[in-house]
């Protein structure tokens, strides 16, 4: 059996909505053997359940709205610095509906991962579940990837497949994806935290 890691990896999680993926990570971190802890949760908007979940768990939160900055670049620089202030080992975008800019990637690139509700490279963008349903695919899923400057184009850490049912709506399909997505995220982030990972070209492997 794996022992308890000496120092759990510090996670900063970014959210924009209900935060069920965040909750799965918070719950997993309750076991010391998981090897990670959520040190802060950041958002681009107020009043979301994701922030409430963090507050209930006693985790530090911050909100930086794009509209509070003169330019998108200033917001990007500010959120990069705020995340850096928590000295994260891994930054997890879990339903964070903003693209990271150059300053954020300069600071956190290589340790910044994003979960997407489709089997990339199919159906990137804001509507992964909706676009897969509209296309008529029979299998879709979720992808965890290391963020690069493109839109959902970074090296893939993990994927999970989910069937599309004949009577699916966007909501029923996305909910089925999210069940599998949460399990994938917990498994992959835990392995990254405990084992480390390397990125060589497009190939991501666990281990140091
Ligand atoms: C998740 O399915 C995540 O993959 C998706 O938003 C959902 C958030 O759910 N993210 C994107 O679509 C990003 N392009 P949650 O707030 O319940 O974790």
The predicted-structure confidence for 177-204, as pLDDT tens digits, reads as follows 999 999 999 999 999 999 999 999 999 9
Residue 206 CA to residue 191 CA, distance in Å, equals 7
* Residue 10 CB burial class (10 angstroms; 0-12, 13-18, ≥19): middle
pLDDT for res 2: 45
pLDDT for res 3: 52
Q: Which residues of the chain have pLDDT under 70?
A: 1-5
Ligand 1 pocket member 178 (CB < 6 A) = yes
pTM across the whole model: 0.96
- Please, which residues bridge with residue 12 across strands? 40, 91
Nearest to 175 by CA among 130, 135, 137, 131: 130
Task: Provide the residue ranges of all domains of the chain, joining segments of one domain with +.
Answer: 9-198
CB atoms closer than 10 angstroms to residue 180? 17
pLDDT for res 5: 58
State which fold the 9-198 domain adopts: Rossmann fold (3.40.50)
Atom of ligand 1 nearest to the CA of 21: 18
Residue 150 CA to residue 88 CA, distance in Å, equals 22
pLDDT for res 6: 72
Ligand 1 pocket member 23 (CB < 6 A) = no
Residues annotated catalytic, as ranges: 116
């Amino acid at each position: 059996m794996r022992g308890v890691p000496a120092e759990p990896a510090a996670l900063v999680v970014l959210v924009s909505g209900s935060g069920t993926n965040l909750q799965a990570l918070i719950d997993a971190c309750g076991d010391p053997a998981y090897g990670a802890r959520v040190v802060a949760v950041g958002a681009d908007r107020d009043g979301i359940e994701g922030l409430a979940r963090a507050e209930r768990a006693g985790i530090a939160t911050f909100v930086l709205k794009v509209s509070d900055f003169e330019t998108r670049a200033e917001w990007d620089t500010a959120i990069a610095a705020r995340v850096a202030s928590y000295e994260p080992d891994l930054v997890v975008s879990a339903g964070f509906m903003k693209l990271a800019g150059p300053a954020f990637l300069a600071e956190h690139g290589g340790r910044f991962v994003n979960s997407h509700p489709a089997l990339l490279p199919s159906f990137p963008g804001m509507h992964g579940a909706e676009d897969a349903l509209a296309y008529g695919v029979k299998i879709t899923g979720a992808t965890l990837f290391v963020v690069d400057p493109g839109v959902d184009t970074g090296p893939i850490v993990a994927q999970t497949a989910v069937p599309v049912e004949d009577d699916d709506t966007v909501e029923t399909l996305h909910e089925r994806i999210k069940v599998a997505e949460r399990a994938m995220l917990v498994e992959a982030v835990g392995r990254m935290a405990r084992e480390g990972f390397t990125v060589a070209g497009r190939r991501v492997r666990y281990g140091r």
